[in-house]
Amino acid sequence: MKDLKHLYYFENLLMDADNELVRQAQADGRICVGSVCYQIPEVLMNLGNAFTVRLRAPRTGSMEMGTYYLTSLLCEYSRALLERAIEGGYQFLDCLMAPDGCTMINRCVENMELLKINEKEHFFYKYLEVPMKADDNGLNLYVSQCKEKILTPLHEKFGIDISDEALRKSVEEHNKICRIITELGNFRKEEKPRITGYEFHIITMCTYVCPQDLLLEKLEETLEEVKNRQPDEKWPYRARVAVVGSEIDDIDMIKLIEDSGAYVCADRFCFGSLPGREEIILNDDEDVLTQICRHYMMTCMCPRHMDTPKMNRRREYVDEIAKKYKADGIIYEQMKFCDPWAYERMVGSHVLREEYGYPVLTIDRPYAVGNSGQIRTRVQAFVESIEIKKIQGGIKSGESNWKLSTREAL
């Protein structure tokens, strides 16, 4: 297919946390709010002249300093962020919000605070207690924490408007981005998609790490371009896979999978579009903040939620997107030493094989995959196993309940 006009621009935006659009926004006097997790509602940080950036550590090499403070037993995402912070890579932030999503990311941000890595006079940190159960009590906690730890400090420190009208406007702007990403993502359901999983991943990630309003024009142009794009006559992939699991902000990860012959048709991972880029629907009957918090709490697919309905829902959700996007198999990935996803990967991959009948490949991976020969070999073998089953008539694209055993699938 012909290269997307703005793909190189989008790729360049991901080369540095302090990217071109972040610098442009700050030159205009805007406030940059850092965050580290989906559970800090983006729309509460995109108010007025504030904008949010989800932290990444692109082009990470050595993590010696991060490992010194956090030990080698903590996940590489948290160590990479601390390493980059110590190097001075997040000096552009005006404040940083972190949930107690996991102990590791909390320790990472606490170390940033203890080491005083940011030199701005009014810089501050906030830690949110987020619910582990998605029920009414959890929602009450979530609403009070978002009000106390996000809205109030943004108003008191920077004078940002936190009224219901401002919240509704932020949701409206957020939904514009979500509709574009969803429409782009829907092209992945086609028999011969006119957008690759890599291209979609790059575009989606940009919406997490740039001021969204400054990105909107190029996203709209890209959507029109993709609508009129002609897919390749010859399908270059041998299987379709849904990638499920923990945080992926490494641009090489999806590229490696697709270079190994598997088209990534669905992305249920942190920094992905499912469910991160679903519209927030508001009504006129209820408090706006409560509605926003409920959306994030109910759509969140993080294994930090440990109540049974949420655990079952995570596997149902993977089954639903695998069917919707016609996946032949599922790649269940997890950042090395990520405890919540380690448990979820083990149980979820078993359930999806035994109860839903999908071929599943599980991967325990580093933060920066690069050109990992080991992962490439495993993906290639997985693709081959799917091909063999297709030849034997055991797999029809997008169909669940194949009832293949683990040994047969791999």
The token pair that represents 306 in the structure block: 């440990």
Question: Is residue 294 one of the residues assigned to a domain?
Answer: yes
The token pair that represents 4 in the structure block: 């997307």
Condensed to tens digits (0 to 9), the pLDDT of residues 231-281 reads 888 889 999 999 999 999 999 999 999 999 999 999 999 999 999 999 999
Binned at pLDDT 50, 70 and 90, residue 401 comes out as very low
Whether 259 and 345 have beta carbons less than 8 Å apart is answered as no
Binned at pLDDT 50, 70 and 90, residue 372 comes out as confident
Binned at pLDDT 50, 70 and 90, residue 409 comes out as very low
Stated pTM of the model = 0.93
- CA distances (Å), 155 to each of 34, 49, 64, 292, in order? 16, 11, 38, 18
Instruction: Indicate if the pLDDT at residue 384 is higher than 70.
Output: yes
pLDDT top residue among 100 and 249: 249
Question: Is residue 8 one of the residues assigned to a domain?
Answer: no
Mean pLDDT of the chain, nearest integer: 93
Whether 12 and 215 have beta carbons less than 8 Å apart is answered as no
The token pair that represents 345 in the structure block: 């990967």
Q: Angle 217-190-378 (CA atoms, 0-180°, nearest 5)?
A: 100
Instruction: Indicate if the pLDDT at residue 187 is higher than 90.
Output: yes
pLDDT reported for residue 72: 92
Question: Is residue 401 one of the residues assigned to a domain?
Answer: no
Domain range for 386 is 167-392
Distance of CA 368 to the CA centre of its chain: 15
Tell me the average pLDDT across 36-49. Answer: 95
Tally of domains in the chain = 1
Condensed to tens digits (0 to 9), the pLDDT of residues 293-303 reads 999 999 999 99
Condensed to tens digits (0 to 9), the pLDDT of residues 189-223 reads 999 999 999 999 999 999 999 999 999 999 999 99
Instruction: Indicate if the pLDDT at residue 134 is higher than 60.
Output: yes
Question: Is residue 132 one of the residues assigned to a domain?
Answer: no
| b/e 269-297 (16+ beta carbons within 10 angstroms → b) | bbbbbbbbbeebebeeeeebbebbbbbbb
Percent of the chain scoring above 90 in pLDDT: 86
Q: Angle 247-252-253 (CA atoms, 0-180°, nearest 5)?
A: 45
Condensed to tens digits (0 to 9), the pLDDT of residues 336-368 reads 999 999 999 999 999 999 999 999 999 999 998
Binned at pLDDT 50, 70 and 90, residue 1 comes out as confident
Question: Is residue 127 one of the residues assigned to a domain?
Answer: no
What is the Cα–Cα distance from 67 to 56, expressed in whole angstroms? 17
What is the Cα–Cα distance from 322 to 58, expressed in whole angstroms? 29
Instruction: Indicate if the pLDDT at residue 57 is higher than 90.
Output: yes
Binned at pLDDT 50, 70 and 90, residue 403 comes out as very low
Percent of the chain scoring above 70 in pLDDT: 96
User: Left if phi > 0, otherwise alpha if psi is -120 to 50, otherwise beta: which for 25?
Assistant: alpha
Tell me the average pLDDT across 311-333. Answer: 96
pLDDT reported for residue 395: 55
Question: Is residue 217 one of the residues assigned to a domain?
Answer: yes
Question: Is residue 53 one of the residues assigned to a domain?
Answer: no
Whether 274 and 250 have beta carbons less than 8 Å apart is answered as no
Whether 395 and 402 have beta carbons less than 8 Å apart is answered as yes
Count Cα atoms within 13 angstroms, Cβ side, for 306.
Answer: 9
pLDDT reported for residue 356: 95
How many residues does the structure list for the chain? 410
Question: Is residue 235 one of the residues assigned to a domain?
Answer: yes
What is the Cα–Cα distance from 241 to 359, expressed in whole angstroms? 10
The CATH number assigned to the domain holding 356 equals 3.40.50.11900
pLDDT reported for residue 193: 95
The token pair that represents 216 in the structure block: 């909107």
Burial of 119 (0-12, 13-18, 19+ CB in 10 A): exposed
Instruction: Indicate if the pLDDT at residue 55 is higher than 90.
Output: yes
End-to-end CA distance of the chain: 32
